[in-house]
Amino acid sequence: MNGNGAIPFLDLVTPHRELRQELTEVFQWALDTAGFVGGPMVEQFETAFARFCGTKYCVGVGSGTDALRFALMATGVKAGDIVITVPNTFTATAEAISQAGAEPRFVDIDARTYNLDPAKVREYLENSCTVDDRFGVVTDAKTGKPVTAIVPVHLYGQMADMDALLDIAEQHKLSVVEDACQAHGARYFSRKGNRWRTAGSMGKAAAFSFYPGKNLGACGEAGAVTTDDTELAGKVRLLRDHGQARKYHHDLEGYNGRLDAILLSRNEAVICPYEPFWSHAVYHLYVIRTADPDGMIQHLKAADIGTGIHYPVPLHMQKSYSSLNYSPDDFPVASRVAVEIVSLPMFPQLTSEQQARVADEVLRFVQNALISQ
Ligand SMILES: *Cc1c(COP(=O)(O)O)cnc(C)c1O
């Protein structure tokens, strides 16, 4: 690999070139049998993925958004409910909540992990809701709507603090549906269960996406719901057959990759991803924070290095959710993080030389910025 060549933010062509032979055989099989939707290939994948996650069931669906919507509906979320989630996520998280008929209620994030902050969930439930202790019904005081579920997003490949969230959910009889669309294979050490758990196995159900750019990418759109609950899995199977177009799935090659953080983590002008002791992240994205993300992105671009921002506008500031009437400073952590983040190149074929070059350029930028101050 040429040490001075362009480093794309994500390279989807090389992995598929490497898998060309295998994928061609699968396509051929699908053509020969006209087995384009469902069938034994999907069933094999469902069995394998359930085992990978450590759940009893996996139900393949058309996309991650479908997976989240079906999982919410199957857990009993209804029209008029309120579902708690974070403002710093891909918009599909909130769309799936709305499409299930519910209203997203954003709660701010932890400043280090960028995931849903359990203390702030508790604060919302205790200060902004009324609780009927006899029936365990939680009602949002402002809207009068029942709060029925929590959707923690395992952002960038790191799981949210599930022990704490599950405790709160149990206390208030809320369903927890994990948005694991960025976290295939991420692990969390449950202090409660005294063992490592895999993303998708802790909530009542979980949603995965196999969109090509995710850690486990399909050759098209794909998603899945995982759960231990027989009835819930059955409901999702029904839901997916009711008009939900789903493309065919096949045995997929997953990937995850780590970027050596040591070079970067010594520099105070750059905040690197924080991994608590209870977490094994799979780095769907490698996101750093800097005071001048635009300058950093321009500098990296000039050095032929691709970047991204995930996500530049928090959901409470999106036009599509203006009807929820949030103001910009309702979620100060999510808002601050959104204007400081830069996603660096991250994909399995990224070589150590390329990683070192990215780190060098990041450091060169912050050093130049310090000098010119
Ligand atoms: C990708 C993604 C989704 C949606 O998945 P699709 O397969 O694109 O529908 C939902 N939530 C998060 C956090 C995602 O990254």
pLDDT for 136 beyond 80: no
- Give the pLDDT score at 282: 92
Bigger pLDDT: 178 vs 137: 178
User: Per-residue pLDDT tens for 154-212?
Assistant: 999 999 999 999 999 999 999 999 999 999 999 999 999 999 999 999 999 999 999 98
- Give the pLDDT score at 38: 76
What is the band of 242 on the pLDDT scale with cuts at 50, 70, 90?
low
pLDDT for 253 beyond 80: no
pLDDT for 268 beyond 80: no
- Give the pLDDT score at 238: 82
pLDDT for 2 beyond 60: no
Q: How far is the CA of 369 from the centre of ligand 1 (A)?
A: 35
Q: How far is the CA of 269 from the centre of ligand 1 (A)?
A: 31
pLDDT for 249 beyond 50: no
231: tokens are 């009835």
What is the band of 373 on the pLDDT scale with cuts at 50, 70, 90?
low
Q: How far is the CA of 13 from the centre of ligand 1 (A)?
A: 21
What is the band of 55 on the pLDDT scale with cuts at 50, 70, 90?
very high
Dihedrals phi, psi of 233, to nearest 5 degrees: -60, -40
Average pLDDT over residues 105-112: 98
Q: How far is the CA of 179 from the centre of ligand 1 (A)?
A: 8
CB 60 less than 6 A from any atom of ligand 1:
no
For the chain, give the mean pLDDT.
88
pTM (whole model) above 0.75: yes
- Give the pLDDT score at 218: 84
Cα distances (Å, whole numbers) of residue 297 to 51, 353, 358, 360, 368: 40, 20, 11, 14, 14
Q: Tell me what percent of the residues of the chain surpass a pLDDT of 70.
A: 91
274: preceding bond cis by omega (within 30 degrees): no
Candidate of 97, 158, 181, 284 to mutate for ligand 1, largest count of ligand atoms within 8 Å of Cβ: 181
- Give the pLDDT score at 30: 80
Atom of ligand 1 nearest to the CA of 96: 10
Please list, in sequence order, all residues whose beta carbon lies within 8 angstroms of the beta carbon of residue 89, skipping any fewer than 6 positions away. 153, 155, 179, 311, 315
E strand spans, 284-362: 286-289, 341-344
- Give the pLDDT score at 27: 82
Tally Cβ neighbours within 10 Å of residue 135.
8
What is the band of 335 on the pLDDT scale with cuts at 50, 70, 90?
very high
What is the band of 135 on the pLDDT scale with cuts at 50, 70, 90?
confident
Cα distances (Å, whole numbers) of residue 294 to 93, 265, 303: 26, 20, 14
Q: How far is the CA of 47 from the centre of ligand 1 (A)?
A: 22
The position carrying tokens 């701010």 is: 108
User: Per-residue pLDDT tens for 63-75?
Assistant: 999 999 999 999 9
pLDDT for 125 beyond 80: yes
CB 81 less than 6 A from any atom of ligand 1:
no
Average pLDDT over residues 135-142: 90
Tally Cβ neighbours within 10 Å of residue 241.
11
Q: How far is the CA of 50 from the centre of ligand 1 (A)?
A: 19
What is the band of 342 on the pLDDT scale with cuts at 50, 70, 90?
very high
- Give the pLDDT score at 267: 62
One-letter amino acid of 344 = L
Q: How far is the CA of 90 from the centre of ligand 1 (A)?
A: 6
- Give the pLDDT score at 25: 86
What's the number of CA atoms in the CB half-sphere (13 Å) around residue 284?
26
CB 89 less than 6 A from any atom of ligand 1:
yes
Cα distances (Å, whole numbers) of residue 275 to 11, 187, 347: 25, 11, 19
What is the band of 245 on the pLDDT scale with cuts at 50, 70, 90?
very low
CB 152 less than 6 A from any atom of ligand 1:
no
CB 279 less than 6 A from any atom of ligand 1:
no
CB 90 less than 6 A from any atom of ligand 1:
yes
C-alpha radius of gyration, the chain, whole number? 21
Q: How far is the CA of 86 from the centre of ligand 1 (A)?
A: 14
CB 179 less than 6 A from any atom of ligand 1:
yes
Average pLDDT over residues 232-259: 53
